Amino acid sequence: MNYLITSKNGWISSVMLIILVIGVSCLSNQSTETGTVSDFEYVLYDGVDTPINLSDSYGAPIILNFWAGLCPPCRAEMPDFQEFYEEHGHEIVIIGIDIGKYTGLGSQKDALELVDDLGVTYTIGGVKDDSVIELYNVYGLPHTVFIDSEQNIVRAWSGAINLSKLEDIGLGMLESYQ
């Protein structure tokens, strides 16, 4: 009899866990977190590790994407970011911040290999510590933050984002900027 109860409890626990995972996954892409931007320093992956501050890009809309070199959803969305950059990079700043070494999802070497494999040309860099993860509430990867020209966070998106959604949110920010 104990075996039946244990099996039933195990089955019920498994079903509840699956429902919880599906629910969190569905909700994660619906984030509409707003607030004020926090400045931070990042290092360009340009071969000389040039230090840059996010505030150097203030005055234009910014799409800030947190990713990692060994993150499959990050890899999947990068071609869409590249396409968006090629079309709108002269109007909207796109910055990819590699946080793989703080999440266990790769090193700077892994990130550079991914960028090279995909032919990414938008701004890519990394941070010197993990404080940016808390500053921008990065609870999963990829994580994208849309910042308007007045340094307000207008939207945050957790999980992979496609070109259509990038255009909807990004071009919406651009319309309010112009």
Average pLDDT over residues 99-122: 98
Identity at 137, one-letter amino acid code: N
pLDDT at 10 over 60: no
**Contact (Cβ atoms closer than 8 angstroms) between residue 28 and residue 113:** no
Give kind and range of the element (H or E) at residue 125: strand 123-126
pLDDT digits (tens, 9 = 90+) for 145-158: 999 999 999 999 99
Exposed e or buried b per residue across 126-152, where buried means at least 16 C-beta atoms within 10 angstroms of its C-beta: bbeeeebbeebebeebbbbbbbbbebe
Task: Output the pLDDT for position 156.
Answer: 97
What is the CATH architecture assignment of 33-177?
Answer: 3-Layer(aba) Sandwich (3.40)
List Cα–Cα distances, 43 to 12, 16, 53, 71, 124, in angstroms.
48, 43, 9, 20, 8
Contact criterion met (CB below 8 Å) for 107 and 101: yes
Higher pLDDT, 135 or 21: 135
pLDDT at residue 159 greater than cutoff 60: yes
**Least confident stretch, 18-22, 79-83, 95-99, 160-164:** 18-22
Domain boundaries, the chain: 1-30, 33-177
**pLDDT score of 134:** 95
For residue 124, pLDDT over 80 is answered with yes
pLDDT, one tens digit per residue, over 41-98 is 999 999 899 999 999 999 999 999 999 999 999 999 999 999 999 999 999 999 999 9
